[in-house]
Structure formats: structure tokens, C-alpha cells
Amino acid sequence: MLRKILGLVMVLVFVAALFGCKPAAPPVPYGGVIKIGNVAPMTGDIPKVGEDGDWGVRLALDEIGYKLKVGDVTYDIEYLLEDNESKAESAVAAGTKLIKEDKVLALIGCYASKQSIPLGEVADRYHCPDISPWSTNPRTTKNRPYVFRACFIDPFQGEVGAKYVKDYYKVKKVAVLYDVASDYPKGLAEYFKKAAEDLGLEVVAFETFTTKDRDFSSQLTKIIASGAELLYTPQYYDEVPLIVKQAKELGWDKPIFGSDSWAGGDLASLCGDDCVGYRFTTHYAMVGAKGRTKEFIDAFKAKYGRPPSDVGALAYDAAQILLQAIKNTGGLTGDLAKDRDAIKDQLAKIKEWKGVTGTMSFTPEGDPIKCAVIVEYNAKHEIEFVDWACPPGMKPPE
């Protein structure tokens, strides 16, 4: 009798296993939530940079409803914004918190090179992929396989800027004014100087100041006395109006040429008519934009009530590139170290990616190969496209 009962139990167990019980589904990695961090200067010297960077990232996430399908799983995206206060030490603290405590899969940021370089060191040390929208200093990515950027680098910007100054303005003597204590302007000033001299231009004044200085009269007096026919100043949007105003008060009536940092914030409200007619190298132009770029500008304006600076456009591109790299992994494992490595590997494989700031492919150093644009601050206080400046062998976008 016992044998019959045991046999019946075994049959019932087999039938239940065959028809009624399915194996438990494997747990979804990260509980179905992907964390992405953004380290931006929301306060400090350049808060408009942080604001536009934050808004650019949010717009990219809004467009996908904060959801991303990776392999067979659709994840919710949790976006974590940290303020670096426009300070290097704050960037390090914010990045460390996001990586170690919040356990983000990847970072976006920083923006200014002064914060991006130390953040890049942190990201690379902890093997967390990081893409900077706006840092152009080569040190940000150099020897850091986990660090990438969405913008061109300073040596290229310095070269195309010097070439344009020679070809367009037909000058022979130039002057440079820059902040010696800040990585971005210092590096770019040096690259411009070298490129200008290689092209046969004479750099007759190479004047410096220190961060937070607001009186440039001594340096500008020397520049005017030097016989310079053009002033190059690769400073941020909040400093340019002061330099321009003081130069004009001292009698300067010649061209002033700048860099992408001019477009990092609300130059129009700070400079007014003083900057009209001046040109600079940057990443994209709002006036005359077409196709995907125009669609982005219209969407940004509709959501935030004003057009995006180049920072907003680059942050949007950086976010989209990162999302594409995460998708390209084909699936996440739930092992944070392995997934961060997989995302890093996919970022390095990005080729011919078409963004709102141009088409780009990454070099082994994590730097994009892409064109720069020459823009002019026009009489309507708009940033208007005037010309392309592309790497050798690369055609301008259509």
C-alpha cells in the first residue's frame, strides 16, 4: 500500500512540474532601473553652462520617456544631477559620490576643463565611463580609456582659429589675453599662439590674468601699444563682455576673435551691442540651422523658453551617444563593473554618429573627429553661422 502511495505522489509531482510550475524568472538587473549621473556647474562662475547642460540631458531623456530598452529588458532611467559649484574639488566629490554611493552606470560631465580634468581622473580610477559635453582640453581624456567627450579638442580649435584669423582678417600681428590659472583658456591660448606662429603670424603680446580678475586695463594697454591688429581671447561668456568693454574704453577699434566658451551662456544679455561683429570658433550655430539641428533647437525653445547654447546642444549629443552605447551592449548583467566596461567598449566603437553638433567618430583617446564652425555675433544679438572649419579630408555636414 505504501509503495502505491509513494508512486502516486511521484506521478503527481511530475505532472505538476510538467504542467503547473514554471521556473522562476531571473531577476532584472538593477531592479529595472538604470542610473545616469551628470556633474555640472549649477552655481559658481558659469551657472548658465550648468543650466544648459542639465536641460540638454533632460531633453534627450524626455524624448524617450526616461525609458531605454537594452537587450530584452526595458529599463527606467534615474537621472542624478550633482552641482560641481564651478570648482575642481567639488567635481571630484560629486563624481566620487555618484560612482561609489549612487552606483551610476555612467557619467556625463564635467563641462569646463578645470573641473572635467579632475573628474576624468576619478572616473578612470573607478572604471566608470564618463563623457564630457564641453571640455576641450586634451588632458581630460589623455591616457584615460573610460573618459570621452562630445566636442572637438583645443589643439584643433587653436589651429582652425589661427588659420581663419590669417585668411579672413588678413592680419600679420596678433595679441592674446587669457586666464593663466584656468586649464581651458591657458591651453587654448598656447595652442593658438603656436598655430599662429607656424602660419607666419607674429604674436606681439601674450598677456595673462588670474581667475576672478575684473580689471584688464593694464594688459589691454600693453596690447594696444604692441601694434596688434587683432585680439584673441579664449575666455568664458561672463568675462568676454568685461574685456570687450574695457578694450573699447581704452580706444581699441580692431577685431576681437574668440573660442567656443563665448557661447557657453547668455552672452547677449551681458555684452549687448559691444560684441556685434565679433567672430569665434564653436560647435554649432543656431541661426541658419537645418534638419535635425533645427528640430532640436525648436524642441529646446518650446520646453525651456529660450534657444540652447552650444553647451545645451553638446550635452544633448553626449546623452544620446551614451544611451546608444548602453543599448549597443546588447544587455546588462547586473554586475556593475562588467556593465561599465561594456559601455566603455561600446562608446569607443561609435562611428559616423550624426548628432545635432555634427557627425563624429571617436579616436582611441576618446576624442571625436568632427568639424568646427565659425560664427558671428550679429546685430540682432544672435550667434550666426558664417563658415565651416573641418579636419583634413572631412567634408562639412550637409
Residues recorded for the chain: 398
**Residue 52 has what pLDDT?**
96
Q: What 3 state SS string does 271-319 have?
A: HHHHHCCCEEEECCCCECCCHHHHHHHHHHHHHHCCCCCHHHHHHHHHH
Residues forming a β-bridge with 48? none
Residue 18 has pLDDT above 60, yes or no: no
Q: Where are the domains of the chain?
A: 32-151+289-366, 155-282+376-389
Nearest to 110 by CA among 101, 98, 127: 98
**pLDDT tens column, 341-353:** 999 999 999 999 9
Q: Name which CATH class applies to 155-282+376-389.
A: alpha beta
pTM of the model: 0.86
**pLDDT tens column, 2-11:** 455 545 545 5
Q: Report which residue type is found at 301.
A: K
Residue 20 has pLDDT above 60, yes or no: no
Q: Record the cell numbers describing residue 68, joined without a space.
A: 531605454
CA 228 – CA 251 distance, rounded (Å): 13
Question: Does residue 110 have a cis peptide bond before it, meaning omega lies within 30 degrees of 0?
Answer: yes
Phi-psi region of 128 (alpha: psi -120 to 50; beta: other; left: phi over 0): beta
Cβ–Cβ < 8 Å for 71, 93: no
Provide the percentage of residues in the chain whose pLDDT is more than 90.
85
Using pLDDT thresholds of 50, 70 and 90, give the confidence band for residue 394. confident
**pLDDT tens column, 219-229:** 999 999 999 99
Residue 185 has pLDDT above 70, yes or no: yes
CATH fold match for the domains 32-151+289-366 and 155-282+376-389: yes
Residues forming a β-bridge with 79? 36
CA 151 – CA 137 distance, rounded (Å): 10
**Residue 350 has what pLDDT?**
94
**Residue 14 has what pLDDT?**
52
For the sheet with 368-369, list strands across it. Answer: 353-355, 358-362, 368-369
Chain center to CA of 281: 15
Residue 101 has pLDDT above 50, yes or no: yes
DSSP-assigned states of every residue in 13-54: HHHIIIII--PPPPPPGGGGEEEEEEEE-SSSS-HHHHHHHH
Count of C-beta atoms within a 10 Å radius of residue 22: 7
For 117-237, strand residue ranges (E) read 130-132, 147-149, 173-179, 202-209, 230-232
Average pLDDT on 184-209 reads 97
Phi-psi region of 271 (alpha: psi -120 to 50; beta: other; left: phi over 0): alpha
Kindly give the residue spans of alpha helices, DSSP state H, lying in 98-235.
113-125, 154-169, 183-198, 217-225
Q: Report which residue type is found at 55.
A: W
CA 81 – CA 102 distance, rounded (Å): 11
Secondary structure of residue 2 in the 3-state scheme: helix
For the chain, strand residue ranges (E) read 33-40, 67-70, 73-83, 106-109, 130-132, 147-149, 173-179, 202-209, 230-232, 256-258, 279-282, 353-355, 358-362, 368-369, 372-377, 383-389
**Residue 3 has what pLDDT?**
54
DSSP-assigned states of every residue in 239-262: THHHHHHHHHHTT--S-EEE-GGG
Question: Does residue 390 have a cis peptide bond before it, meaning omega lies within 30 degrees of 0?
Answer: no
**pLDDT tens column, 59-100:** 999 999 999 999 999 999 999 999 999 999 999 999 999 999
Q: CATH classification of 32-151+289-366, choosing from 3.40.50.2300, 2.60.40.10, 3.40.50.300, 3.40.1210.10?
A: 3.40.50.2300
Residue 26 has pLDDT above 80, yes or no: no
Greatest distance between any 2 Cα atoms in the chain: 115
